[in-house]
């Protein structure tokens, strides 16, 4: 079991209802119908952007469990150039990146159009929930310095 860094608030025990609320959104995304491997790619990429070591470690391992190979996972940070990603995955990764950087990008129409070509309206909403919840988890984990467990 991991523990929070001394001096930072152990948010999961101090405010468990907030943590559980995020967990409900996470649970929704897990059962919404999006492919688990795609969701893990999104969680991994957003966590990379946000510099969340805890979530990068967790979602890399979850992506392997979902069937993604190591070579593809190692290329997630360079998905724009890597040949391993489908058009659907690329659209999802672009959408995840533009929403994660929303203060700078303002969710451009070209990214929105690209995601709607490859995803239904419900899937776009579900993908957006996935991006939102992992960004929220990242901010809590980074802000409170949740450490990567020494053993997985």
- Using one digit for the tens of pLDDT, what is the confidence trace for 60-106? 999 999 999 999 999 999 999 999 999 999 999 999 999 999 999 99
* Rounded Cα gap, residues 152 and 148, in angstroms: 9
| Alpha carbons 96 and 42: distance in angstroms, whole number | 6
Q: Which is nearest to 48 in space by CA: 145, 106, 135?
A: 135
Q: Are 69 and 75 in contact (CB under 8 A)?
A: no
List Cβ neighbours of 93 (8 Å cut-off, separation of 6 or more): 41, 42, 45, 76, 79, 85
pLDDT digits 0-9 by tens, 21-52: 999 999 999 999 999 999 999 999 999 999 99
The predicted model scores a pTM of 0.92
């Amino acid at each position: 079991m991991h523990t929070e860094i001394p001096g930072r608030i152990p948010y999961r025990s101090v405010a468990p209802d907030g943590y559980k609320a995020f967990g409900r959104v996470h649970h929704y995304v897990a059962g919404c119908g999006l492919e688990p491997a795609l969701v893990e790619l999104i969680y991994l990429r957003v966590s990379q952007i946000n510099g969340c070591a805890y979530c990068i470690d967790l979602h890399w391992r979850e992506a392997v469990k979902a069937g993604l190979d190591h070579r593809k996972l190692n290329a997630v940070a360079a998905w724009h150039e890597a040949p391993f990603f489908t058009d659907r995955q690329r659209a999802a990764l672009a959408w995840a990146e533009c929403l994660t950087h929303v203060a700078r990008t303002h969710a451009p129409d070209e990214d929105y159009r690209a995601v709607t070509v490859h995803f239904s309206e419900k899937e776009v909403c579900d993908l957006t929930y996935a991006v939102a919840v992992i960004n929220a988890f990242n901010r809590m984990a980074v802000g409170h310095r949740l450490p990567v467990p020494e053993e997985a």
